[in-house]
Amino acid sequence: MMPRNWPPLLWSGLWLLVMVSALASRPLMPVDETRYLAVAWDMWREGNFLVPHLNGEPYSHKPPLLFWLIHLGWAAFGVNEWWPRLVAPLFGLGSLFLTARLARELWPEASAAARMAPLVLFGGLFWALFTTLTMFDMILAFCTLLSLIGMVRAWRASGPGDGPGGDQGGEWFGFGLMGLGIGLGVLAKGPAILVHILPVALLAPWWGRALPGGEDRRSGGWYLGLFGAVALGAAIGLAWAVPAGIAGGEAYREAIFWGQSAGRMVSSFAHRQPWWWYGAALPVLLLPWVLWPPIWRAAGRLPKALGRDGGVRFCIAWLIPALVIFSTISGKQFHYLLPELPAIALVLARLLFDGAAEKEGAARDQIPPGLFYVIAGIALFALPALPVPEAAPSWLDLVETGWGLAMAAAGVVVLFRRRWPLAGRLGALAALSAVFVVVIHLAMKPPLAAAYDLKPLALKLAEWQRQGISLANFSKYHGQYQFLGRLEKPITQVGILDPDLRNFLADHADGRIVAYHNKLPTAAKPIAVYRFRTRLITVWEVATVIRHPGILERAPPARAGFGKKSPSRP
């Protein structure tokens, strides 16, 4: 007989498993992870904790919460790489517990939903994989959940009379918790937190009056409290933004108050996708659950639940408006929807464990997701024998395909555990998703080390800097070498605005310039060559660049292989 608290132990253990595999198997991933650690490093090195900087310039793209949390760990443990890589994932783990807490707030009588919703969330392949990355969206998901918990508490605590809706202190505590979540969300990723919060709050009468204990809530005072919560959140964000805007100058001030918030909402400058993109991507984000028959049977109960279940209404008011809003914005990324995935997990857990007997098809339910993992494992194992398109990256030759057998074996085990209770089958699929993520990390360890690890080049650049040699980067520089090499000075960016390159060549006769090529130039020989993805990174002496104008330009596309099967290895 399994203990009642096995789901929290399982999801915590699975989180630990995937994190250990990620830390042991892959380097910091360019350009996002290396850039964010470069910002934290520049702030730490300069002792400037108010205005984020990247390569010596104010960095306006993100607020400072992630960087501050990295600094706290460095203050406690010294400057290291492992702590920054744990910060965002720890918020991912915390989001699992907050998801369980929100389920208890929405359905106090349904303990199964609170225990299983985090497993549904973590069992999604996208969440399980993304939780290992140093990004802002896991922090934003945590802040969203914190605000929504406060929102439900405020609604329930603010009804008339002496019943469960009459706790005035609880009402203001709920609004305060909501405001705190908004404020931390602003410090994590700017005003985007309001897209995840405000629609739910504005629709509160629709979902709140269907909640047990929330039937008698009057909406008039609700919007006053909502205004107070948003004002509190804004005050928390402005407590940093105002002094930072003053210290950072006019351009930085304009960027943090407009360019990186409302400006992006109006017209995003990157990641443009059609309006239907999220709708098409959502089934992929929900693997493997879209392949599991109990999910489809539960989805059939959704219309009935919407008519009577305030918690389900709450989750729909959370998911659909955010999906619509993000679909209207031109810039789209999968991870923008991470704060909405708990809403889907909560609905699925509620409908799966709503008291209805879940017996039909139990012997067959594990077959589709189990086969998905078996086929994925076999495909990974058979990768060397599969036909490879000419445009495929050559690092495919380095994949440790033998790990595919472990994935296939785990899928077979699930296939033969088809008569477990529903909770056990769900837990097995969540564990299988974790195995998938671990296998991917282990299989990709050699190619990631060969094609994505910039530390050897960063250490060489640091050595040259210590020797007093000036460094430049040809094309836009994302700070990818700053933290990895613990560089003490900025790298000059050239090749963007004329005459920046000519000035560098004239002023730094002994300098070095980093450039990027699809194939190695033949006109001259660089002093160092490194590989990154499918490209080459070269380092050139200034004298060579002067003798060979144009040698820094990227060559015509060509497959530059470095694996055991690559015939064009330079």
Q: How confident is the model at residue 55 (pLDDT cuts 50, 70, 90)?
A: very high
Cβ atoms of 250 and 60 closer than 8 Å: no
Integer Cα distance of 368 and 178 in angstroms? 40
For the cut 80, the answer to whether the pLDDT of residue 3 exceeds it is no
The verdict on whether omega for the bond into residue 288 sits within 30 degrees of 0, i.e. cis, is yes
* pLDDT recorded at residue 556: 44
Confidence of residue 412 (pLDDT cuts 50, 70, 90): very high
| For residue 165, pLDDT beyond 50 | no
Q: What SS3 class is residue 191?
A: helix
Its pTM stands at 0.92
List 331's β-bridge partners, or say none. Answer: 272
Q: What is the pLDDT of residue 564?
A: 39
- Give the residue-averaged pLDDT of 232-257: 95
**Lowest-confidence range among 186-190, 340-344, 416-420, 507-511?**
416-420
Distance in angstroms (rounded) separating the CA atoms of residues 342 and 319: 9
Per-residue pLDDT, 164: 43
Residue 218 pLDDT level (bands cut at 50, 70, 90): low
Residue 465, helix vs strand vs coil: helix
**Per-residue confidence band for 261, with pLDDT thresholds at 50, 70 and 90:** low
Q: 3-state class of 29 per DSSP?
A: coil
More confident residue, 526 or 156: 526
- Predicted local distance difference test score (pLDDT) of residue 566: 36
Question: What's the pLDDT score for residue 420?
Answer: 82
Between strands 512-517 and 57-58, the pairing is: unpaired
Q: Is the pLDDT of residue 13 over 70?
A: yes
Separation CA 549–CA 546 (nearest Å): 6
Q: For residue range 77-120, what is the model confidence (pLDDT) as tens digits? A: 999 999 999 999 999 999 999 999 999 999 998 899 999 999 99
pLDDT at residue 361 in the model? 57
Round to whole Å and give the CA distance between 390 and 356.
Answer: 53
State the sign of the Cα–Cα–Cα–Cα dihedral 559, 564, 565, 569. Answer: positive
pLDDT band at 419 (very low <50, low <70, confident <90, very high): confident
pLDDT digits (tens, 9 = 90+) for 364-403: 888 999 999 999 999 999 998 888 777 777 778 899 999 9
* pLDDT above 70 for 427: yes
Average pLDDT, the chain: 90
Residues 163, 213 contacting (CB under 8 angstroms): yes
- pLDDT attached to residue 555: 63
* pLDDT score, position 270: 57
Kindly tell me if the per-residue pLDDT of 213 is higher than 90. Answer: no
Say if residues 484 and 28 touch (Cβ distance below 8 Å). Answer: yes
Greater confidence (482 vs 365) lies with 482
Place of tokens 């790489």: 81
- What gap in Å lies between CA 336 and CA 339, rounded to an integer? 7
